[in-house]
Amino acid sequence: MVLDAWSRWSPAGLPTLRWDPEACQERWSRGTSLILEGPPRFDPESLEPLLLPVLDELSTIGEGEAEAISRFAEAWDAGRLTPVALLPGLGSRSEGSRPDTLEISGDLLSFVTYLGLRPALEAYFADVKGHFSPDIWDAGSCPFCGAPPSFGDLGEDGKRWLCCALCGGRWTIGRLRCPFCDNRDAKTLTRLAAEGPEEGYLVEACDVCRGYLKGVDRRVRWNAGSALIEDWGTPHLDLIARRKGYWRATPSLIQLAPLES
Ligand SMILES: [Zn+2]
Ligand SMILES: [Zn+2]
């Protein structure tokens, strides 16, 4: 249903960032994601065709969620909650109502953001995406929207690519490095590799900040789907990571489910 809303939606009328390559590369070379200096000015109403189906779907999860979603909708309608306040790469700088005053769990709120804003952000950065080259960016967060990575790809080039589920951005990072806390000590970086029919899937976790990232080794699984499809298709790996006490920085359906014993 969410994917239906995505496919029906058209970015016409929504803003696109139009910076030349030099303007983008100047930010990247300073380690600044583009959103910080070029925040999108989304008209709240124009996002509603994307957001409303997501809110409907999330409010069917349970009573608590339904109440939280109706508080969200109320604040949105009253203009107390702005689109920009939802963006993880920007939220702390925005004015107006902070989402954390709405008594909505962070997990639920981040679902709304990732499912409701992805196509709009993808369209916003579509024009500048081609200006990016991985050698200019050396950080754990997305060079476009500033969000943490949601998935890792070991590419056919042997490089470790990080993927952003919020805007579709991709960038590279060293193999032995935690994208969340920048830990580079191999002794405290854990890699769980799946075996048998699951060979090629992995969980890379950090024993310092306890963050983890799922990924796929595309040299082994050459026919793997997009990062988003592979992420959504492997919730059992999230369960394994979660049972080992690791957390993930971006939403996954498993976060809304109670932890099984
Ligand atoms: Zn991004
Ligand atoms: Zn870490």
For the stretch 204-224, pLDDT in tens is 999 999 999 999 999 999 999
d(Cα 140, Cα 88) in Å, to the nearest integer? Answer: 14
Distance (angstroms) between ligand 2 centre and the Cα of 212 equals 8
d(Cα 193, Cα 258) in Å, to the nearest integer? Answer: 25
Distance (angstroms) between ligand 1 centre and the Cα of 4 equals 22
Q: Is the pLDDT of residue 254 over 80?
A: no
Distance (angstroms) between ligand 2 centre and the Cα of 91 equals 22
Which ligand gives the minimal distance to the CA of 148?
Answer: 1
Confidence of residue 259 (pLDDT cuts 50, 70, 90): very low
- DSSP secondary structure string, 76-114? HHTTSS-GGGG-TTTGGG--S--GGGS---HHHHHHHHH
Distance (angstroms) between ligand 2 centre and the Cα of 164 equals 17
What pLDDT does 91 receive? Answer: 59
Which ligand gives the minimal distance to the CA of 132?
Answer: 1
Distance (angstroms) between ligand 2 centre and the Cα of 140 equals 10
Better-predicted residue by pLDDT, 9 or 204: 204
What pLDDT does 136 receive? Answer: 95
d(Cα 35, Cα 43) in Å, to the nearest integer? Answer: 16
What pLDDT does 84 receive? Answer: 84
Mean predicted confidence (pLDDT) in 75-89: 87
Distance (angstroms) between ligand 1 centre and the Cα of 85 equals 15
Distance (angstroms) between ligand 1 centre and the Cα of 168 equals 6
Which ligand gives the minimal distance to the CA of 205?
Answer: 2
Q: Is the pLDDT of residue 139 over 50?
A: yes
Query: Phi-psi category of 52—alpha, beta or left, where left has phi over 0 and alpha has psi -120 to 50?
Result: alpha
Are the C-beta atoms of residues 33 and 167 closer than 8 Å to each other? no
Exposure string over 58-81, b if 16+ CB within 10 A, otherwise e:
bbebeeebeebbeebbebbeeeeb
What pLDDT does 189 receive? Answer: 97
Q: Report the run of H or E that residue 190 belongs to, with start and end.
A: strand 189-193
Domains assigned to the chain: 2-125 (no CATH), 148-256 (3.90.1670.10)
